[in-house]
C-alpha cells in the first residue's frame, strides 16, 4: 500500500528517538468543545497565573508602643492551594514575600500567617517531610520600620510575592506578583510576632484541594455534547502516548514482533494484536478503578516508593534478558540468546504481557489532551471514568490494531534474521537507561539499597542464565530457588539496614557557628560526622542513631543533633574531625554542657553505646530503660548500678 512506508517510518522513529514528554495539559470547563482541552502548551494559550492568586495589602503606622505593621492577603482560586512561607527545604516551593527597597519600609520581623497553614506529613514523594498548605485565603502580617520624620501618607509601600499555585494534577509558578499597601489607621492591623514555633493545622479529610472548601464541588452533569469531545481527546492522548519516552523500550519489543508477524496470515496477526490490546486495556481498566474508587490520579502509582522499586527491578531483569544474561520464561519477550530463538512465534501470552508492560511503563508520562481528559474525570461518576480510560487505551492500541487489520504494512521490514539479535541488544541498553531514569525518581535515601538490590538481582539472573536448558530439573530448580532466594534475602537486608529510618532525628547542618550557638543553650549537642560514601556511617545511622530510643532521649533532654556531611570536600568539617584526634569517619562527638572535651565514639557503634554516652553527657532515658550510672564503691569492689 502507498501509506506503508510512512507508517514504518513512524515506527522506526518511535523506536530510535523520542522527544521530551509534553507539558501537562489542563481542561478548562468554561471553554466549550475542544477549546477547553488546549491548556498550556504549543496548542493552546498558557494559564493566566494572575487569576490564580489575587493579592491585596495594607500598612499602618506605629501606635501605643507597637511597631508599624504591614499585612498582605492572598485570595487563592477555588481548586488551588499554595505553600507556606515556612515550608521546609527539600519539598515544594515555599511562598516568599518581599518589600521593595524603594518604598522606604523595611521588615522588622518575620511574616506570620493567619490562619496557620494546613500541615500533613508526606510519605511518598518527599518522605517524612511536613507539607504546609494554604487554601482559600491567607493573610501574612509583619512589623516594619518606616523612615523617621516622613509622613506615612506620602509613602508608597510596595512589594512582590513568589509562590506556587497547585491543584492535584498540575502546578503553576506565580512569580513577581506585585502588591501596593493601602494606608490605614494606626493599630488597625493586629500586632503579630513570629517568635517561637508557629502553629499549624492538620489537613483534615474535609479539606479538598480541588475546591479549597470543606466539601468538594458537585459533579457537573454529563451530556453527550460534552462527553464526545472529551472521549476524542482521550483517544488522541492515548495515540500520542506512543510518542512518549516512557514507552520507547516496549516499542522495540513490538518492532521485533512485527518482523516475526510479517509471514503470517491476517487472522493470526490480528489475533496477536488483539491479545496485545487486551493486556493494554486490562491495565487501563485497573487504573480507571483506582481513579474512580480510590481517588488515584494518572501516574500516581509512581508516587508509591514500593511500586517504583518493583518497576526498577522488572525493567532491570528485562534489560538483562535483552543483553543475553538470562532468558525470561515468557513467550515473545525476546529473551533468547540468538536470532533463531528470536524468530520463534510470539504467542498470545507474550502479546498480552507486552500490552500490560507497555501501559505500566507509560503511566509516568503525559502529553497533549491526556491531562485534560483525565482532569475531567475528577468530578464525574465512575462510568464516565471507565469510558475515558478505555478511550485512552484504545487510542494507544490503535496503531497496532491498524497493523492487525492491514498486516501488509509490516512487509517492508527486513526478514527475521541476525539483525534482530543486534536490535534486541540495542533495546537492552535502552532498558538500562530506563532503569537509570527510574532510580532517579526515588528519594536519594533509597539509592544505596536499590543499587544493592540490583546487584543481587543481577547475580540471580546470571546464575539462572548460566544453567543450561539441557541441565537436569534438579539443577535448574536449584538455580531458580538459589538465585531468587539470594536476591530476596539481600534485597530485604539492603532495605532493612541501608534504607531510610522511620524515626530520624531533627538534624541541622553542622558548622562551627551552629555548634557554638547550640552549646550556649546549656544542653547536650550530638554531632554525627558522616558521608554518603561511608557504608559504616549508613549502618550506624540506621541501627544506632535514628532509632526510637535515641530519638526519645534527644527530644526529652533538648539535645541538638548536628549533621556534619563530609560527602564532598569541606575544610571546616575536616578540621573538626582532626581536632577530635581522628582522620576518618564514622565519628560521633557528644558535647556535654560545661565540659570542654566532648565524648567521642568511633567506627561501628551500637544503640546502647550511644545511649550510655548521651547519659554521660546528661541526656538520660526517662522510661526506666537500662542506662549505665556512675560506679558506686561497695567495700573493696566496684559495681555499676543499672536503671
CB atoms within 10 A of CB 539: 16
pLDDT above 80 (res 261)? no
pLDDT above 90 (res 637)? no
Q: What is the 3-state secondary structure (H, E, C) of 131-182?
A: EEEEECEEEEEEEEECCCCCCHHHCCCEEEEEEEEECCCCEEEEEEEEEEEE
**Residue 423 has what pLDDT?**
78
Could you give the CA distance from residue 246 to residue 382 in angstroms, rounded to a whole number?
27
Q: Give the least confident one: 42-46, 62-66, 604-608.
A: 42-46
Cell numbers at 195, concatenated: 517568635
Cell numbers at 590, concatenated: 557528644
- Bigger pLDDT: 28 vs 373: 373
**Residue 7 has what pLDDT?**
40
Strand partners, 73: 56, 139
pLDDT above 60 (res 337)? no
Cell numbers at 213, concatenated: 472548601
What average pLDDT does this structure show over 122-140? 79
Q: pTM score > 0.85 for this model? A: no
pLDDT above 80 (res 199)? no
**Range 569-597 burial, b when 16+ CB lie within 10 A, else e:** ebeebeebbeebebeebbbbbbbbeeeee
Evaluate whether 164 touches 174 at the Cβ level (below 8 Å): yes
What average pLDDT does this structure show over 159-183? 85
Quickly list DSSP for 311-369: HHHHHHHHHHHHTTS---SSTTS---SSHHHHTS---HHHHHHHHHHHHHHHTT---TT
Q: What does residue 173 show for φ and ψ, rounded to 5 degrees?
A: -80, 125
Most confident of 257-266, 300-309, 322-331, 593-602: 593-602
When pLDDT is cut at 50, 70 and 90, the band that residue 330 belongs to is: low
When pLDDT is cut at 50, 70 and 90, the band that residue 39 belongs to is: very low
What lies within 8 Å, CB to CB, of 48 at 6+ separation is none
**Residue 127 has what pLDDT?**
61
Q: Give the least confident one: 114-123, 370-379, 423-432, 554-563.
A: 370-379
When pLDDT is cut at 50, 70 and 90, the band that residue 76 belongs to is: very high
**Residue 441 has what pLDDT?**
82
Q: Give the least confident one: 379-393, 399-413, 510-524.
A: 399-413
What average pLDDT does this structure show over 185-213? 56
Could you give the CA distance from residue 21 to residue 244 in angstroms, rounded to a whole number?
6
When pLDDT is cut at 50, 70 and 90, the band that residue 486 belongs to is: very high
Task: Map grid coordinates 521490514 to a residue.
Answer: 413
pLDDT above 60 (res 553)? yes
pLDDT above 90 (res 140)? yes
When pLDDT is cut at 50, 70 and 90, the band that residue 600 belongs to is: very high
Q: Is the peptide bond before 115 cis (omega within 30 degrees of 0)?
A: yes
pLDDT above 70 (res 195)? no
Domains of the chain are 49-202 (2.60.40.1250), 226-442 (no CATH), 508-642 (3.40.30.10)
CA distances from 217 to 455, 550, 553 (A): 49, 46, 47
**Residue 123 has what pLDDT?**
59
DSSP H or E stretch at residue 250: helix 248-261
pLDDT above 80 (res 507)? yes
Cell numbers at 494, concatenated: 539492603
**Residue 561 has what pLDDT?**
92
Mean confidence (pLDDT) of the chain: 76
Task: Map grid coordinates 518581599 to a residue.
Answer: 98
Rg (CA), the chain: 31
**Residue 583 has what pLDDT?**
86
How does DSSP classify residue 186? T
Pairing of strands 53-60, 171-183: parallel
What lies within 8 Å, CB to CB, of 238 at 6+ separation is 370, 391, 392, 393, 394, 395, 396, 397, 398
Task: Map grid coordinates 502479546 to a residue.
Answer: 351
Evaluate whether 618 touches 593 at the Cβ level (below 8 Å): yes
Write the pLDDT tens digit of every residue in 350-376. Answer: 778 888 877 887 776 666 677 667 767
Cα angle for residues 129, 540, 608 (degrees, 5° grid):
110
Write the pLDDT tens digit of every residue in 216-236. Answer: 444 555 566 678 888 888 898
When pLDDT is cut at 50, 70 and 90, the band that residue 44 belongs to is: very low
Amino acid at each position: 500500500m502507498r501509506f506503508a512506508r510512512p507508517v514504518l517510518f513512524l515506527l522506526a522513529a518511535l523506536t530510535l528517538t523520542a522527544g521530551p514528554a509534553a507539558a501537562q495539559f489542563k481542561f478548562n470547563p468554561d471553554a466549550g468543545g475542544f477549546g477547553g482541552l488546549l491548556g498550556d502548551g504549543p496548542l493552546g494559550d498558557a494559564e493566566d497565573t494572575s487569576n490564580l492568586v489575587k493579592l491585596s495589602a495594607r500598612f499602618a503606622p506605629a501606635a501605643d508602643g507597637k511597631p508599624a505593621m504591614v499585612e498582605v492577603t492572598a485570595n487563592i482560586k477555588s481548586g488551588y492551594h499554595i505553600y507556606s512561607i515556612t515550608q521546609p527545604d527539600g519539598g515544594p516551593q515555599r511562598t516568599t514575600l518581599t518589600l521593595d527597597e524603594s518604598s522606604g519600609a523595611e521588615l522588622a520581623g518575620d511574616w506570620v500567617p493567619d490562619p496557620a497553614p494546613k500541615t500533613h506529613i508526606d510519605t511518598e514523594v518527599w518522605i517524612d517531610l511536613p507539607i504546609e498548605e494554604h487554601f482559600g485565603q491567607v493573610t501574612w502580617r509583619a512589623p516594619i520600620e518606616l523612615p523617621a520624620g516622613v509622613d506615612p501618607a506620602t509613602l508608597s509601600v510596595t512589594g512582590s510575592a513568589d509562590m506556587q499555585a497547585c491543584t492535584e494534577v498540575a502546578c503553576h509558578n506565580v512569580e513577581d506578583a506585585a502588591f501596593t499597601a493601602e494606608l490605614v489607621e494606626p493599630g488597625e492591623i493586629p500586632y503579630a510576632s513570629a517568635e517561637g514555633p508557629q502553629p499549624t493545622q492538620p489537613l483534615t479529610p474535609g479539606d479538598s484541594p480541588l475546591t479549597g472548601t470543606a466539601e468538594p464541588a458537585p459533579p457537573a452533569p454529563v451530556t453527550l455534547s460534552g462527553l464526545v469531545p472529551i472521549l476524542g481527546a482521550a483517544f488522541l492522548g492515548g495515540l500520542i502516548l506512543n510518542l512518549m519516552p516512557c514507552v520507547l523500550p516496549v516499542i522495540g519489543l513490538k518492532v521485533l514482533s512485527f518482523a516475526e508477524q510479517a509471514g503470517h496470515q491476517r487472522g493470526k496477526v490480528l489475533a496477536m494484536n488483539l491479545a496485545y490490546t487486551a493486556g493494554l486495556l486490562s491495565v487501563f481498566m485497573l487504573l480507571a478503578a483506582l481513579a474512580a474508587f480510590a481517588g488515584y490520579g494518572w501516574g500516581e502509582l509512581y508516587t508509591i516508593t514500593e511500586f517504583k522499586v518493583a518497576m526498577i527491578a522488572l525493567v532491570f531483569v528485562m534489560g538483562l534478558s535483552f543483553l543475553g544474561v538470562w532468558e525470561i520464561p515468557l513467550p515473545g519477550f525476546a529473551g533468547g540468546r540468538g536470532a533463531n530463538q528470536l524468530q520463534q512465534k510470539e504467542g498470545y501470552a507474550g502479546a498480552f504481557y507486552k500490552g500490560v508492560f507497555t501501559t505500566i511503563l507509560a503511566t509516568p508520562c503525559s502529553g497533549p489532551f491526556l491531562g485534560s481528559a483525565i482532569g475531567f474525570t475528577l468530578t464525574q461518576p465512575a462510568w464516565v471514568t471507565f469510558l475515558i480510560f478505555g478511550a485512552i487505551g484504545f487510542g494507544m492500541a490503535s496503531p497496532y490494531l491498524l497493523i492487525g487489520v492491514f498486516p501488509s504494512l509490516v512487509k517492508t521490514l527486513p526478514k527475521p534474521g541476525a539483525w534482530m539479535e543486534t536490535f534486541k541488544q540495542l533495546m537492552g541498553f535502552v532498558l538500562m537507561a530506563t532503569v537509570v531514569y527510574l532510580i532517579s525518581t526515588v528519594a536519594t535515601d533509597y539509592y544505596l539499597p536499590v543499587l544493592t538490590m540490583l546487584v543481587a538481582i543481577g547475580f540471580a539472573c546470571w546464575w539462572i542464565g548460566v544453567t543450561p536448558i539441557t541441565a537436569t530439573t534438579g539443577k535448574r530448580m536449584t538455580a531458580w530457588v538459589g538465585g531468587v532466594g539470594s536476591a530476596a534475602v539481600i534485597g530485604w537486608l539492603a532495605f532493612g539496614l541501608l534504607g531510610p529510618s522511620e524515626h530520624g532525628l531533627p538534624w541541622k547542618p553542622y558548622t562551627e557557628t551552629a555548634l557554638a550557638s547550640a552549646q550556649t543553650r546549656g544542653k547536650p549537642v550530638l554531632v554525627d560526622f558522616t558521608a554518603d560514601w561511608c557504608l559504616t556511617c549508613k549502618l550506624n545511622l540506621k541501627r544506632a542513631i535514628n532509632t526510637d530510643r535515641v530519638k526519645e532521649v534527644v527530644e526529652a533532654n533538648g539535645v541538638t543533633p548536628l549533621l556534619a556531611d563530609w560527602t564532598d570536600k569541606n575544610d571546616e568539617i575536616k578540621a573538626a574531625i582532626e581536632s577530635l584526634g581522628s582522620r576518618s569517619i564514622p565519628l560521633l562527638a557528644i558535647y556535654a554542657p560545661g565540659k570542654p572535651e566532648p565524648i567521642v565514639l568511633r567506627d561501628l557503634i551500637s544503640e546502647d553505646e550511644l545511649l550510655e554516652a548521651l547519659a554521660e553527657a546528661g541526656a538520660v532515658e526517662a522510661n526506666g530503660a537500662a542506662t549505665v550510672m556512675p560506679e558506686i564503691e561497695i567495700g573493696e569492689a566496684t559495681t555499676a548500678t543499672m536503671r
